[in-house]
Structure 1
Amino acid sequence: MDLHYLRIFYEVAKERSFTKAANKLYINQSAVSIQVKKFEELLNTKLFDRSSKKIKLTYSGEVLYKMAEEIFQKVKRAEKEMTRIIELDKAKISIGSTSTVGEPLIPKLMKAFSKVHSEIEYDIIFSDKQRLLKSLKEGELDVIIIDEEHITDSNLEVIEVDKFPYVLVSKEDYRDIEDVIDTPLISRKTIPNNNEAIAALENKYKISFDNQISVMGSLETIKGMVREGVGNVILPYYSVYKEVEAGEFKIIEKIEEVEDAYQIVITKDKRTLLEIIKFINFTQNFKII
């Protein structure tokens, strides 16, 4: 169905006049009549009853008019929305994040970001690093926020945001650091920095965390296990600072030798997009602690 014909038919049906429709469309009346007739031939049905002096729609014409009205109302709304987007510089970004970084960072970050940039809407997806990187490369995500990762892909740009030390935290206080080996250590063996932090602590105090519980997945699950006294855990400070400040967790040891940064990663072709520039600049200056 040709939308040009549909528009002419719609205006005639709406105005109930070929003359008024012609004036509205800035074409002559004979052209309107010819176009409507061609449209009827194309559809193989009569749209107007020409047996009376007044413009009257046939049954087919009434059905088509109602559908055309819905179509052009949607077109009008789309035009208004596009105008609003242009005038307000409105945009939308898709953000991906790992749970380790995202769970402590995203709620606070996006609340502050929205206050400053209310014109930018956003979607958020939590997943593991490899899936996030794949989605970023395929264009499903505009930007991802992940814990430190060595990335060599020439099509990606990595922007380091902030660094924090690892900390050993527990629900309980310990008089002696050596006593911690009697409690299971919740470990994330797939995270290189986590393994380095464990090794650094073992080397410093000549102890060995033989009793380890490996957990993969949600940061909240890990912290929940600490709250229940299942074990202690070594995490980047930014991911547990709220619990520490609230007195839920105690810092048993700060591991200065190993730091964890969180990074913004984007594809280089999106570096010049205004909404991406705004998000990067804001996040770089945002302090989670």
Structure 2
Amino acid sequence: MDTDLLRTFLEVNKTRHFGRAATNLYLTQSAVSFRIRQLEIKLGTPVFTRKRGDLRLTAAGERFVPYAESILQTWGRARQDVALTDSYQQQLTVGATSLIWEIDNSSEWLEQVEAIQPEWALRTESLSRQQISNALLEKQVDVVLTSEPPKLADLQQVRLTDFSLVLVSSEPEQTMETIGALPLVYLDWGTRFSVEHSRIPSLQRTPVLHSHGCQPATKFLLNRGGVGYLPSTIAQPWIDAGKLHLVEDSPAMENELFMVWLSGNEKHEDINSLVDAFTEQAVHDFG
């Protein structure tokens, strides 16, 4: 299938507008419409319902979205793999949620991999937590960095480092007793964090912002005010600048960062060698 058709389909789905999709793809609107028609002919079913001012996916279109995304990811990996120059012997594709990519530990890990295996090319992918297991099982990524490893039989894991989440406020001199009146910003770190968060009585209210990204959560706290948990490495510069403040007597939440991979991955031996190199150099203590 022509990958241009898939890119056009996903862009139309994202914008829900043929004209805006055409602008983003540097195409004419008629070219976008033609590509969608071609895709529907190939699939044998409509992927969008077209009503005046209302463009929506059909049920078939909804089901096709993850396949289109997976095909494009696989095609991108394949192009890079076959185009490796003599300088690079291997490509390692690393997946993680946007939250994990935003903390320093992940970028430090990538730098460590490059130092240990300079002949490897690295490719990163952003995944939702729901996509992690399938991305590994379908070999869309070689390894995943995560704080909550999936519990599947064919997956292996190694702990890389620890990182902390700290409770910060836009207002100084706040305690666990006084933060109840402040807007709550909830940075979604997953099930374990949710359980621990639910045990703090002064934080049990509807968040004014529920975020899956550190940047929007931090900006909201700085610009609009409130209270919420942030990674310590992200919060500390703002604490030093006097823009954010640690809540007195607040519990820090300790997390672990793991590398997870599929035993049946064709790069399994290379990944094991990487793990051995990390162990030898004790780089799992870099955090």
TM-score range relative to shorter protein:
0.5 to 0.7
Q: Does 1:132 align with 2:132?
A: yes
Q: Which residue number corresponds to residue 108 of structure 2?
A: 108
CA contact (8 A) 2:170 2:245 kept: yes
**Alignment match, 2:153:** 154
Shift in alpha-carbon separation, 1:237–1:177, aligned structure 2, 3 A: same
* Residue pair 1:201, 1:255 contacting (<8 A) in 2 also: no
Once the two structures are superposed, the pairs formed by residues 71-150 of structure 1 within 5 Å of their partners are 81=85, 84=86, 90-104=89-103, 105-149=105-149
- The answer to whether the 8 A contact 1:264-1:280 is kept is no
Matches within 5 A, 1:1-289: 81=85, 84=86, 90-104=89-103, 105-149=105-149, 151-188=150-187, 191-202=190-201, 207=202, 209-237=204-232, 240-241=235-236, 243-244=238-239, 248-252=243-247, 253-256=249-252, 258-270=253-265, 272-275=268-271, 277-278=273-274, 281-282=277-278, 285-287=283-285, 289=287
With over 3 angstroms needed to count, the CA separation of the structure-2 counterparts of 1:197 and 1:214, relative to structure 1, is farther
Q: Shift of residue 176 of structure 1?
A: 3.3
2:251 aligns to what SS in structure 1?
strand
> Residue 222 and residue 263 in structure 1: after superposition, are their counterparts in 2 closer, same or farther (change >3 A)?
same
- 1:55 match: none
SS in 1 for 2:136: helix
Equivalent-residue separation in structure 1 for 2:235 and 2:274 (angstroms):
28
Change (3 A) 1:176 1:130: closer
SS in 2 for 1:173: coil
* Higher deviation after alignment, 102-111 or 279-288: 279-288
CA 139–187 in structure 1, closer or farther in 2 if over 3 Å, else same: same
Percent of matched pairs sharing the same residue: 15
Instruction: Please say if residues 120 and 275 of structure 1, whose CA atoms lie closer than 8 Å, have aligned partners that are also in contact.
Output: no
Cα distance in structure 1, aligned partners of 2:240 and 2:207? 26
Q: Any idea what SS the aligned residue of 2:257 has?
A: strand
Q: Which amino acid aligns with 2:214?
A: L
Q: Which runs of 5+ in 1 are unaligned?
A: 1-77
Residue by residue over 1:5-43, the C-alpha shift from the partner in whole angstroms, topping out at 9 and shown as x without a partner, is: xxxxxxxxxxxxxxxxxxxxxxxxxxxxxxxxxxxxxxx
Q: Does structure 2 retain, via aligned residues, the 8 Å contact 1:238–1:288?
A: no
State whether residues 116 and 277 of structure 2, in contact with CA within 8 Å, keep that contact through their aligned partners in structure 1. no
Q: Distance in 2 between matches of 1:186 and 1:250?
A: 14
Residues 100 and 79 (structure 1), Cα distance of their counterparts in 2 relative to 1, 3 Å cut:
closer
- AA aligned to 1:107 is S
How far is 1:145 from its partner? 0.5
Alpha-carbon deviation of 1:121?
A: 0.8
Counterpart code for 2:274:
K
Aligned-pair CA distance for 1:245: 5.3
CA distance in structure 1 between the aligned counterparts of 2:237 and 2:178, rounded to whole angstroms: 25
Task: Tell me how far apart the structure 1 counterparts of residues 224 and 197 of structure 2 sit (CA, whole Å).
Answer: 19
Aligned length: 201
Q: Distance in 1 between matches of 2:84 and 2:148?
A: 43
CA deviation vs aligned residue, 1:92-140 (integer Å, no higher than 9, x gap): 1000011222211333332343244321111101121221221111011
State the AA in 2 paired with 1:124: T
Cα distance, 1:187–1:131 mapped onto 2, change above 3 Å: same
TM-score (norm 2): 0.58
Once residues 240 and 163 of structure 1 are traced to their aligned partners in structure 2, the CA distance between those partners, rounded to angstroms, is 16
Q: Is the 8 A contact 1:99 1:127 kept in 2?
A: yes
The amino acid of 2:144's aligned partner reads: I
1:141 Cα deviation after fit: 0.4
> Hey, what's the Cα distance between the residues in 2 that align with 1:224 and 1:218?
10
For the residue of structure 2 that corresponds to 1:178, the secondary structure is: coil
Partner residue in 2 for 1:28 = none
In structure 2, list runs of 5 or more residues that go unmatched: 1-81
